[in-house]
Chains A and B, each alone.
Chain A
Amino acid sequence: AQSVAQPEDQVNVAEGNPLTVKCTYSVSGNPYLFWYVQYPNRGLQFLLKYITGDNLVKGSYGFEAEFNKSQTSFHLKKPSALVSDSALYFCAVRDDFNKFYFGSGTKLNVKP
């Protein structure tokens, strides 16, 4: 069965410091992995995806994610956090039937 785990409910980081939001997955077949961000009272916004190719994927707003097949992980990263990055982040995996499975979300707090 497909599943996604985001082990941290919350991540706190100071502005200017690097950030990492963790995600591990379980999928049969090829993994199609996605990161989304949600701001208050808004829908989820697509950040980036991994389908195939380079393990380091670059996305919107300076975010990137590293696919690690042996560790079944797809951690979201940014070299220098901004206060405006504070939001709820969701990792997702898509199965071969076009169904998406979302993690429980990680709240990112970036302090000035």
Chain B
Amino acid sequence: NAGVMQNPRHLVRRRGQEARLRCSPMKGHSHVYWYRQLPEEGLKFMVYLQKENIIDESGMPKERFSAEFPKEGPSILRIQQVVRGDSAAYFCASGQGGNQPQHFGDGTRLSIL
């Protein structure tokens, strides 16, 4: 059973470009979470989605950031007009809800030149 798959593992963008981060949840998981992590720091919650719905986006910046989890295909975290401060590791986790834990991908490391 494949785990949570994130791609790309590393992404380099220049300031002003767009970054698209993809996450394929584990089979059977309908809940997806996105987190951001700076080096040697904890996880910062960004957004929680279920299929075709945003459940909680309280951790997402109001501008430039958006997320979706369509009926078919992976979840996408999109960052428009990237700035240097967007450089971080972005982790996706998926779950089934209930008492089950989240399962994490290995992250996308975004570097902004």
Contact = CB atoms under 8 A, between A and B. Distances in A.
Contact count band on A: 20 to 34
Counting chain B CB atoms within 10 Å of each CB, the highest count among A43, A45, A105, A107 belongs to A43
Interface residues of B, number: 26
A109 B1 CA distance: 32
B101 A43 contact: no
Chain B contact surface mostly? strand
Contacts of A42: 106-107
A43 B106 contact: yes
Contact of A98 (B41, B45, B95, B103): B95
B91 interface: yes
B42 A44 contact: no
A99 B48 contact: yes
Contacts of A45: 104
Interface string A74-109: 000000000000000010000001111111110100
A105 B45 contact: no
A43 B107 contact: yes
Contact of A90 (B43, B45, B107, B109): B43
Nearest to B95: A98
Contacts of B107: 41-43
A26 to B, nearest CB: 16
Counting chain A CB atoms within 10 Å of each CB, the highest count among B40, B48, B101, B102 belongs to B101
Interface string A21-59: 000000000001010100001111110010100000000
Interface of A: 32, 34, 36, 41-46, 49, 51, 90, 97-105, 107
